[in-house]
Every structure is written in structure tokens, then in C-alpha cells.
Amino acid sequence: MNDIDDSNSEQDKIILPDDASVDLKAEFEASNVKEVLDKLDRELIGLKPVKTRIREIAALLLVDRLRKQFALSSVTPTLHMNFTGNPGTGKTTVALRMAEILHRLGYVREGHLVSVTRDDLVGQYIGHTAPKTKEVIKKAMGGVLFIDEAYYLYKPENERDYGAESIEILLQVMENNRDDLVVILAGYKDRMDKFFHSNPGMRSRVAHHLDFPDYSADELLAIGKLMLADQNYRLSPDAEKAFLEYLTLRMNLEHFANARSVRNALDRARLRQANRLFNSNRKTLNKTDLITIEAEDILASRVFTNGTLDVTD
């Protein structure tokens, strides 16, 4: 970490003459940010508006770094963010990659991600909240603090709730330490809108609002195939058709969580595949047998039989 900090510090001290020029493309290549952006494209299907905004932020920081070489002063850009969307739409993954980008462009010292919820920040009795919140901030300093379901910090209906104290501490840090900490708030869009309406101080400090849309059935199928490939599995052609049908039905049932639901469904399909192979009475299995999810492993879900879902589906 010290080596990186020293390098950035020395770079900032080099002042170029007014008639000098800089190579933006070379600077981009040297930053290795492209590697992170490419990784994001591989990890997440779709989300074009989100990926576009991430690239725009990277460009802003890259140009800002070049401006410093000419001693062109400007206010440190505010990069606190609000990620809204349903579960399983990629918010945490984007936050991780954002932390990497910020680090590689010298905006934060370490580039790690600290993910928390209300329980990590708010105490249950007087004098407990401030130490908890400050300890979390201390861990996150130099990187990104990701607060999931951030609207739970604010509970005006409970006079004995200490969430407001945590918010006040966060507001101070977001203003005074924005050159070494980025705070990303996340949650359902309607609840986050209400949260910002009730907390104008927080709203004024968050510059970037990114909405993560639900995936289509085709996108979820592509996500599922990537998940299986990472674990050396694949869908047979008939299983692929069955899984697309499953997704179309599952999306209309309660507690659907996009990529998380896809992962859960595939875990159950792998379970059924293993039981099918075990009960097949075959003496030998080949590699194809071991890696292939068949249609029957998908079609055994209750989603197909009665349009409902329980923990066994």
C-alpha cells in the first residue's frame, strides 16, 4: 500500500509546462482500468446503463489525474453513490469493481470493499452506535463502504432508534473524507427514494444514482449458463429449453431475486442430477454424464407441476 501511495504522491508533484501534451490512451492503458471494465463485462450480463455510468466515472477520474499534471486544480469529485434495484441484479459486484477502479486511478488508497447492513452500524442502547459506526468507517477508509438496505438506518416511527446518530456520523465522513472513502448506499428504489426525501443531507452528498433493472428471462438463462460453466457443468439442449421455461414461470412468483434465484435453482438442479445418476444403476459414468444437466433435472421443480415454490424447488 505504501508503494502505491508514494507513487501517486510523486506523480502529483510533477508539473508539466503549459505547452506539454499527455497521452490519454497511454494513461488509460497504464492504469489497468480496462482490465477491471472487461472483468465487469464478463461477470455481468446486460446492465448497459450501469456499465456506461461506471465507464463515465472512470473517464472523469482519468482526466482529473491528467489535469493534476498541469497543476489544474479542481474540487475533488464527489463519488458517493446510490444503487437501486431488486436483489440479485449485480449491485455488490459493481461495487467491488468500482472499488478496484477507484484504487487503480489513485482516488482511494487501498480499494477494498466493506459491505455492511444496519446491524453493523447501529447499536441497541445509548452510547453504542457511535463506536460501532466509527469502527466500520475505520475499516472502510481507503476504499468503499457498501451499505445494503440503507433505508433501515432511518426509522422515524421509533423514538428510541439510534439510526439517526449513525447517519450524522456518516454525513460528516462523506463530506470531510471524500478523497479517501466512497460510500455506496443500496436498496429497493421506492424505499431509497423515501430515505433520501427524509434525509436531505444524505441526498446532497450522493452524486451518482444508478438503477439496476431486473433481468429478462434470456439474460437470466445466459447468467445461469455462465454460473454452470464456472463449476464445470452445462445444460443439455433440452435442459436449456426447460430452464428458460422455468425462468419465465419463476419470474412471476414471489421472492424472485434475479441472479440469486438462478443460482438457487441451479444448485437444486445439480442435486437432482446427482440423485438421478446415483439411482440409475449404471456401473460406469463418463465425463459427459457428470457435467450435463438434463431436462428432467429442471422439470422436477414444483414450478412446473402446480405453479408454486417452496424450499425444495
- What's the one-letter identity of residue 31? S
Is there a single domain that holds both residue 284 and residue 229? yes
Q: Which of 180, 212, 244 is the last residue of a domain?
A: 212
The model's pLDDT over 160-208, given as tens digits with 9 standing for 90+, comes to 789 999 999 999 999 999 889 999 999 999 999 999 999 999 999 999 9
- What angle, 0 to 180 degrees and rounded to 10, lies between the N-to-C axes of helices 129-140 and 163-176? 30
- How confident is the chain (313 residues) per 10-residue block, as mean pLDDT? 42 68 84 92 92 93 86 82 96 96 91 96 92 97 97 85 94 93 97 95 94 96 96 98 97 94 97 96 93 97 74 49
d(CA 14, CA 145): 31
d(CA 276, CA 39): 36
Which secondary structure element, helix H or strand E, spans residue 139, and what is its range?
helix 129-140
Q: Which of 212, 231, 246 is the last residue of a domain?
A: 212
**Closest to 211 in 3D by CA, of 27, 83, 80, 54:** 83
d(CA 228, CA 292): 10
The model's pLDDT over 294-310, given as tens digits with 9 standing for 90+, comes to 999 999 999 998 665 55
Contact 262, 220 (CB under 8 A): yes
d(CA 92, CA 147): 10
Q: What is the pTM of this model?
A: 0.85
Q: Which of 212, 227, 262 is the last residue of a domain?
A: 212
Q: Which domain holds residue 137?
A: 2-212
Residue 24 within any structural domain of the chain: yes
Residue 60 within any structural domain of the chain: yes
Residue 193 within any structural domain of the chain: yes
